[in-house]
């Protein structure tokens, strides 16, 4: 059985971008693959954060993932820092990573611009830690959103460099994109991201979800109700494609293009569908909230399973690269 690995930062809120870009794929993949899903707290430390909040954010993210359908009987769900081998392999891979390749990473440049007061070495090294996450479990498939494709390309290159230096050991991983790999934020401009503040999160109450959708940007060409729109230029259309039935999508496409329906009509149908899709996820979250020790237990067990694999890999790697033991 092939191995799947993916990670998500403990931002404390799972938003529609994460869900449609990546997490729904995670849930589907666990039926057929050996899956490791990791809450990457070491990565999250590269941005400004409040230490008093980190462990709550980690538990909240785990609760969200479990509520979406990550099943601890099928997948290993764990926290990155409970497996320190991630940091050890990162160091080893640092020694075959070209500095120039890291300097090209667009996410590093974007984040460095947004946190000018904190351009730390960890932020620069972030993609190498990500490569270590994946290679530690010898994962071949990595389900992510489009924003991670460049990091995956680098992970593949690091893998090839490690083969050139030490011989064949790690398999080369591949990204796996969902049919909605890039969800824009409610502003319709940038990708949906917590740090930009343009998100809808899965845990939001129904009335907030409805209100946020009602004010979300649509096709910028459609200024007045009677202007025909182009659904392909409307960010909400990618949400319809996922949450609505084929008939509803056809109704929206026709109605928007002919201006026979307004954006509010389209948004109302979308909001109803989103709210009913999220209802069972929200119910599960409430059930987990009622037994708080359960999530911690799942993470500890996941940490034990992941660590067993990681220590084995590291023992082999240390031998391969010629360290004394």
Catalytic residue positions, numbered:
111, 191, 194
Which one of ligand TRP, ligand AMP, none interacts with residue 21, CB within 5 to 8 A by kind?
ligand AMP
Helix (H, G, I), strand (E, B) or coil at 120: coil
Site string for ligand TRP, 233-272 (x = CB under 6 A): ----------------------------------------
Question: Do the beta carbons of residue 142 and residue 4 sit within 8 Å?
Answer: yes
Phi-psi region of 188 (alpha: psi -120 to 50; beta: other; left: phi over 0): left
Cβ closer to ligand TRP: 173 or 255? 173
Report in angstroms how near the CB of residue 278 gets to ligand AMP at its nearest.
Answer: 17
Question: Do the beta carbons of residue 260 and residue 252 sit within 8 Å?
Answer: no
Under rule CB under 6 A, residue 6 binds ligand TRP: yes
Q: Work out which of 144, 186, 252, 263 binds ligand TRP, going by CB under 6 A.
A: 144
Q: What are the start-end ranges of the E strands in 10-165?
A: 34-39, 75-79, 141-143
Under rule CB under 6 A, residue 191 binds ligand AMP: yes
Under rule CB under 6 A, residue 159 binds ligand TRP: no
Beta strands 3-8; 34-39: pairing state = parallel
Nearest to 64 by CA among 6, 26, 15: 15
Which positions touch ligand AMP (CB under 6 A)?
Answer: 8-9, 11, 17-18, 21-22, 144-145, 147-148, 181-183, 191-193
Which positions touch ligand TRP (CB under 6 A)?
Answer: 5-9, 40, 43, 130, 133-134, 142, 144, 148, 151
């Amino acid at each position: 059985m092939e191995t799947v690995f993916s990670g998500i930062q403990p931002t404390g809120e799972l938003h529609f971008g994460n869900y449609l870009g990546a997490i729904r794929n995670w849930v589907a993949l666990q039926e057929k693959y050996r899956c490791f899903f990791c809450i990457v707290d070491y990565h999250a430390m590269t941005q400004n954060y409040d230490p008093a909040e980190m462990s709550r954010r980690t538990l909240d993210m785990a609760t969200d993932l479990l509520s979406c359908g990550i099943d601890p009987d099928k997948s290993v769900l764990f926290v990155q820092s409970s497996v320190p081998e991630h940091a050890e392999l990162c160091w080893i891979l640092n020694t075959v990573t070209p500095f120039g390749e890291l300097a090209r990473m667009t996410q590093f440049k974007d984040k460095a611009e947004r946190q000018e007061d904190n351009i730390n070495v960890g932020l620069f090294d972030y993609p190498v830690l990500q490569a270590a996450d994946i290679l530690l479990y010898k994962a071949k498939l990595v389900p992510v959103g489009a924003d991670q494709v460049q990091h995956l390309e680098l992970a593949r290159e690091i893998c090839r460099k490690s083969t050139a230096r030490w011989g064949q050991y790690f398999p080369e991983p591949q990204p796996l994109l969902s049919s909605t790999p890039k969800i824009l934020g409610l502003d319709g401009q940038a990708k949906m991201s917590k740090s930009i503040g343009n998100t809808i999160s899965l845990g939001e109450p129904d009335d907030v979800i409805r209100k946020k959708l009602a004010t979300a940007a649509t096709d910028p060409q459609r200024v007045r109700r009677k202007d025909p729109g182009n659904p392909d230029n409307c960010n909400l259309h990618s949400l319809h494609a996922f949450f609505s039935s084929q008939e509803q999508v056809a109704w929206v496409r026709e109605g928007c293009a002919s201006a026979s329906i307004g954006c509010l009509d389209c948004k109302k149908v979308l909001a109803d569908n989103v709210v009913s899709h999220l209802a069972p996820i929200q119910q599960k979250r409430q059930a987990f909230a009622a037994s708080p020790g359960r999530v911690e237990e799942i993470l500890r067990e996941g940490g034990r399973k992941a660590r067993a694999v990681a220590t084995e890999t590291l023992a082999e790697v240390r031998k391969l690269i010629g360290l004394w033991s």
